[in-house]
């Protein structure tokens, strides 16, 4: 079964549009306040605020575009041999024994192998819970027996 990430939801696109227009209004306000006030310190503060607004706007646009590109090009397919990762035309097969780290942290499955890494959130993928369970079960390394000695007398 091939798993694909979800594209950006319409709510996310709408939220970005609202954020964009709010940022433009804030930049206009910052420019007017910086222009009208003769105090150099205040102008510096307004320039910093404008730079911060532009940074947040650029970061939000980058995140939305990254999510759209990922949904368009990335596909995962667990097979008996390993995990097939398709990024557009490029395809990579990572064998299950190559994974050096497979752990759940913060609601995301973190995979690491010698040539790369991948984070999978079950809510971000079609049938994401099945994907996470399949990968976690297949990539889990056998556990060594514990050397635990109980300290309580029997």
**Confidence (pLDDT) at 142:** 66
Q: Do 108 and 77 fall within a single domain?
A: yes
> Which of 29, 55, 71 is the last residue in one of the domains?
71
- One digit per residue, the tens of pLDDT, for the chain of length 154 reads 889 889 999 999 999 999 999 999 999 999 999 889 888 899 999 999 999 999 999 999 999 999 999 899 999 999 988 889 898 888 888 888 888 888 888 878 888 888 888 888 888 888 888 888 888 888 776 666 767 777 777 6
Residue that the structure tokens 């222009």 belong to: 35
How many domains is the chain partitioned into structurally? Answer: 2
Q: Do 31 and 87 fall within a single domain?
A: no
The answer as to whether 2 is a domain residue is no
Q: Do 99 and 64 fall within a single domain?
A: no
Q: What is the DSSP string of 44-60?
A: HHHHHHHHHHHHHHHHH
Domain that holds residue 110: 73-139
In this prediction the pTM is 0.69
CB 74 within 8 Å of CB 86: yes
> Which of 51, 71, 91 is the last residue in one of the domains?
71
Nearest C-alpha neighbor of 125 from the set 80, 60, 67? 67
Q: Strand locations in the chain, DSSP E?
A: 74-78, 82-87, 90-95, 101-105, 108-113, 116-121
The answer as to whether 97 is a domain residue is yes
């Amino acid at each position: 079964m091939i798993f694909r990430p979800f594209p950006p939801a319409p709510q996310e696109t709408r939220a970005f549009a609202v954020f964009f227009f709010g940022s433009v209004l804030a930049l206009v306000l910052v420019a007017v306040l910086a222009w009208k006030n003769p105090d150099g310190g205040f102008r510096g503060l307004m320039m910093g605020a404008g730079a911060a607004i532009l940074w947040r706007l650029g970061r939000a646009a980058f995140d939305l575009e990254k999510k759209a590109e990922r949904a368009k090009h990335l596909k995962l397919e667990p097979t008996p041999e390993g995990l097939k990762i398709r990024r557009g035309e490029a395809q990579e097969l990572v064998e299950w024994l190559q994974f050096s780290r497979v752990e759940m942290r913060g609601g995301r499955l973190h995979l690491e192998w010698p040539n790369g890494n991948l984070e999978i959130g079950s809510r971000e993928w079609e049938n994401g819970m099945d994907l996470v369970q399949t990968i976690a079960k297949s990539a889990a390394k056998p556990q060594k027996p514990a050397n635990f000695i109980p300290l309580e007398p029997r």
